[in-house]
Amino acid sequence: MEKPAICGGTPVRDKKLFYGHQYLDQSDYDAVMEVLKSDYLTCGPKITELEEKLCEITGAKYAVVCSNGTAALHIAALAAGIGKGDELITTPITFAASANCAFYCGGRPVFADINEKTYNIDPASVEEHITERTKAVVAVDFTGQAVELERLQEICKKNHLVLIEDGAHSIGTKYNGIPVGSIADMTTFSFHPVKTVTGGEGGAVLTNSEEYYQKLLLYRSHGITRNEQFLKNESHGPWYYEQVDLGYNYRLTDIQAGLILSQLDKLEMFKKRRKELVARYNDAFSKLDTVTVQEEIPQSDTTRHLYILRLNTDRLTIDRKQFFEAMAAENICCNVHYIPVYYFPYYEENGYKKGICPKAEALYEEMITLPLYYAMSDKDCDDVIKAVEKITEYYKK
Ligand SMILES: *Cc1c(COP(=O)(O)O)cnc(C)c1O
């Protein structure tokens, strides 16, 4: 049996492999340079072009791009009408922003548990957490896999809740053949460098509702409008605008929009490669009885953003932390997505206690994020597989 590097064996590779990395090429550099040489660095034509492109890709009627995915969630929660004392149901297995957006609006996030096979929010648990104060659900397409949209839409419709899909991981994913972005009441995207498509920073909200669209535009830019239809007083002249609500400066620059547009031209290429790598991992890991592969619902045609491996810790003599360290010794830098949101001190201080989502907490103890990104070679992927095989075999009970 081969010795893991952590016990003095030879590491599977010399060069460190990271869990994610952006991919940019000459066309991206050119796209940014073109904007830098143009008349508009912000609020210019690239913004409209990007919004049109996102509508074309997703089939949504309206898109509002903004400074990042967190801002997208904030303005979506505002447009959904979240206010003081309102509740918003979400999953604990996500980045904190999915839940924080409730606090931004004076409301409270409420955590529903996950499905232990798919790791996405469990619609039955959502139903159990609905109260008179519930206004919205933020369902996260965790790792890129679409949530159970049909069930969630049914539940939201019945209870008059707004369904916000946090699609930070899922650009390119389809649900029943329909692209994510045109299904939920509002869908948010992030263009952070670790996501499938990047602008350095960037975000977007997609919707089919004209009403939400108009609100999103206001909240993105100070609550200011020039649209005659929404003015409260008579116009003073062509320069006239009004602040009709309290909004923010959540605008995206044209520089970022130019980069995102150029990245979106590569979306099909990104999708294809990510799917190949996921298939390669799944093939290898489904043969091991020491690990569990994330299950997919048949409705989701997934562009995977993260690859999660679940350790069957009852069959291993090491825990997740030791496994993580053993992988690092093989020069494979993993990560963990995510620490359940309500474990954080801020949440504790706000009255959240451990134990509220047992399935999410159990998953957290056993999960590890393996490298997955466009530019990974087959050899990189096979090195990760080799390291997992070596470590799990050595520490098998
Ligand atoms: C990245 C991420 C966000 C936040 O996006 P930013 O662009 O970093 O603000 C929100 N939700 C999820 C699930 C994310 O992964």
For a mutational test of ligand 1's pocket, the pick from 166, 171, 336, i.e. the residue with the most ligand atoms closer than 8 A to its C-beta, is 166
| Count of C-beta atoms within a 10 Å radius of residue 267 | 15
Closest by Cα among 363, 397, 383 to 5: 383
Q: Is the pLDDT of residue 72 over 90?
A: yes
At 309, is the secondary structure helix, strand, or coil?
strand
Is 170 touching ligand 1 by the criterion CB < 6 Å?
no
Cα–ligand 1 centroid distance for 292 (angstroms): 26
In this predicted structure, the answer to whether residue 370 has a pLDDT above a threshold of 90 is yes
For ligand 1, say whether the CB of 74 is within 6 Å of any of its atoms. Answer: no
Instruction: Output the CA 372–ligand 1 centroid distance in Å.
Output: 17
Phi, psi dihedral angles at 338 (to 5 degrees):
-135, 165
What pLDDT, in 10s, does the model give residues 271-285?
999 999 999 999 999
What digits encode the pLDDT tens for the residues 14-52?
Answer: 999 999 999 999 999 999 999 999 999 999 999 999 999
CA–centroid distance, 242 to ligand 1, in Å, is 31
Ligand 1 closest atom vs CA 73: 10
Model confidence pLDDT, tens digit, residues 89-148: 999 999 999 999 999 999 999 999 999 999 999 999 999 999 999 999 999 999 999 999
How big is the CA angle at 187 (ends 242 and 117), to the nearest 5 degrees?
155
What percentage of the chain reaches a pLDDT higher than 90? 99
What length is written for the chain?
A: 397
CB 226 within 8 A of CB 176: no
Q: Which amino acid, 206?
A: L
Quote the CA–CA distance of 154 and 145 in Å, as a whole number.
19
Distance 326 CA to ligand 1 centre (A): 28
Which atom of ligand 1 lies nearest, measured to the CA of 194? 1
Q: Among 19, 22, 67, 70, which is best to mutate for testing ligand 1, by the most ligand atoms less than 8 A from CB?
A: 70
- Structure-token match 């996405």, residue found: 120
Closest CA to 308 of 335, 271, 331: 335
* Ligand 1 midpoint to CA 236 (Å): 41
Looking from the CA of 195 toward its CB, the CA atoms found within 13 Å total 29
Pocket test for ligand 1, best of 190, 248, 308 (most atoms within 8 A of CB): 190
CB 80 within 8 A of CB 162: yes
pLDDT higher than 90, residue 191: yes
pLDDT of residue 1: 85
Q: Answer yes or no: is the C-beta of 70 below 6 A from any ligand 1 atom.
A: yes
Q: DSSP 3-state assignment of 98?
A: helix
Is any atom of ligand 1 closer than 6 Å to the C-beta of 100? no
Whether residue 347 has pLDDT greater than 90? yes
pLDDT tens column, 307-343? 999 999 999 999 999 999 999 999 999 999 999 999 9
**Torsion from C-alpha of 170, 174, 176, 177, nearest 10 degrees:** 170
Q: How far apart are CA 335 and CA 243, in angstroms?
A: 44
The DSSP secondary-structure symbol of 260 reads: H
- Whether 190 lines ligand 1, by a CB cut-off of 6 Å, is yes
- Looking at residue 140, its pLDDT comes to 98
Mean pLDDT for the stretch of residues 155-170: 98
Q: Are 216 and 225 in contact (CB under 8 A)?
A: no
Non-local (6+) Cβ contacts of 238 within 8 A are none
Average pLDDT for 290-298:
98
Cα dihedral across residues 100, 102, 108, 112: positive or negative: negative
Measured in Å, residue 250 CA sits from the centre of ligand 1 at 15
